[in-house]
Amino acid sequence: MARRNSYAGGTSHRAFGLAGLSDGDIEHLHLTTLEVLERTGVWVEAADAMDVYADGGCRVDRESHIVKIPPHVVEDAIASAPSRVTLCGSRGPAQDVVLEPGRVGFTTFCEGIVMHDPWTGERRDTTKKDAGDIGLLADFLAEIDTYQVAVVARDVPDATYELHNLEAGLLSCSKPLGVGPFAEEDQRLTVEIAAVVAGGPDALRERSPIYLTMGPVSPLQLPAGTTTSGLHGARAGIPCTALTMAMAGGSAPATLAGVLVTHNAEVLSVLVLVQLAARGNPFIYGSSTTALDLRNALAAVGSPECGMISAGVAQIARHYRLPSFVAGL
């Protein structure tokens, strides 16, 4: 039986919370996003992704690589994505996690490249063994629902580190595994490995032990690695997460409304691609969007602004009846 976490979606009374957007605010953000996607569009690098958009009724300028998405295509993609997504464990349903409106869960995040050795105190590059050890720890922690490979295997060849991360995660952790390979060959092999673990391509569609995370580049850009990951995942029936990492005041407008519109347009452009490739494929609305620390030119993860943006993202995702993933709180 799949696990359902505590229900946190009730509004039987007003109490402390972080829900800064009214219904009217969310509707305005949505309509503005539709205008951005229809009039400004997104830059799409890969020809195969442009083909999918064009076949789905979008206006594609292949010379400039700009794809403009009509509102009805966006609305249809939102309606076709399931509001309930089950992320499956690699060793049976005991570790399955149901994502549905009102349920809150927790995951690790990726991908650290330096760590303090817990035994020696040494500051060093992360290794494949570290990725497995952290996966084993996540497997035993009841509060952790899924494992996104937390550190990079930097002691293996750069060309194959994503596959080593995948192996370390699958061998160490029985919970649903989040991975984000960027190179197309790694994406293809990741899907093949997942199918072997699941018991074949048909079994993979029923119980994928992984979910794929892909990141648009702000502002409004979908590089080839993002779109190929979405297409490989959707065509194999693997849950997909679009995780935007816009920075207010840097790669996105400084205002809360402005950064949320930019963020929303990027995530919805990936949602459209995934649903055009495989209508009804599971999709998670993701965010690691925060503000730019203007003094140090760093992403202000963990800041009050990050919390405000993440709360807004969660409200928007709930409006669309999509599971959400927010980072950095």
* CATH classification at residue 261: 3.20.20.480
pLDDT at 13: 43
pLDDT at 15: 44
- Cα(323)–Cα(83) distance, integer angstroms: 6
In a domain, 176, yes or no: no
pLDDT digits (tens, 9 = 90+) for 184-243: 999 999 999 999 999 999 999 999 999 999 999 999 999 999 999 999 999 999 999 999
User: By C-alpha distance, which of 21, 41, 26 is closest to 265?
Assistant: 41
In a domain, 322, yes or no: yes
pLDDT at 8: 64
What does the buried/exposed string (b/e) look like for 247-265 if buried means 16 or more CB atoms within 10 Å of the residue's CB?
A: bbbbbbbeebebbbbbbbb
In a domain, 218, yes or no: yes
CB 231 within 8 A of CB 48: yes
In a domain, 2, yes or no: no
CB 110 within 8 A of CB 15: no
Q: Is 290 helix (H, G, I), strand (E, B) or coil?
A: strand
- Cα(326)–Cα(310) distance, integer angstroms: 6
Q: How many CB atoms lie within 10 A of CB 89?
A: 21
pLDDT at 218: 95
Contacting residues for 44 by C-beta, under 8 A, at least 6 apart: 50, 53, 60, 65, 66, 67, 222, 227
**Which residue range forms the structural domain that includes residue 311?**
23-88+209-326
Report how many domains make up the chain. 1
Backbone angles phi, psi at 225, to 5 degrees: -60, -30
Q: Is 96 helix (H, G, I), strand (E, B) or coil?
A: coil
In a domain, 194, yes or no: no
In a domain, 294, yes or no: yes
CB 145 within 8 A of CB 133: no
| 157 CA to centre of own chain | 26
User: By C-alpha distance, which of 270, 228, 290, 281 is closest to 42?
Assistant: 270
- What token pair was written down for 133? 């050890």
In a domain, 184, yes or no: no
In a domain, 302, yes or no: yes
Judge residue 123's burial from the number of C-beta atoms within 10 Å of its C-beta, 0-12 exposed, 13-18 middle, 19 or more buried.
Answer: exposed
Question: Which residues of the chain have a pLDDT value below 50?
Answer: 12-16
Q: Where are the alpha helices (DSSP H) in the chain?
A: 23-35, 47-55, 71-80, 128-140, 161-172, 184-198, 201-206, 224-236, 256-277, 304-319
- What token pair was written down for 190? 């990741």
- Cα(246)–Cα(287) distance, integer angstroms: 9
Which residues are registered as beta bridge partners of 222?
44
Judge residue 200's burial from the number of C-beta atoms within 10 Å of its C-beta, 0-12 exposed, 13-18 middle, 19 or more buried.
Answer: exposed
- What token pair was written down for 173? 């952790």
User: By C-alpha distance, which of 69, 96, 55 is closest to 239?
Assistant: 96
- Cα(308)–Cα(322) distance, integer angstroms: 19
- Looking at this protein, which amino acid is placed at residue 250? G
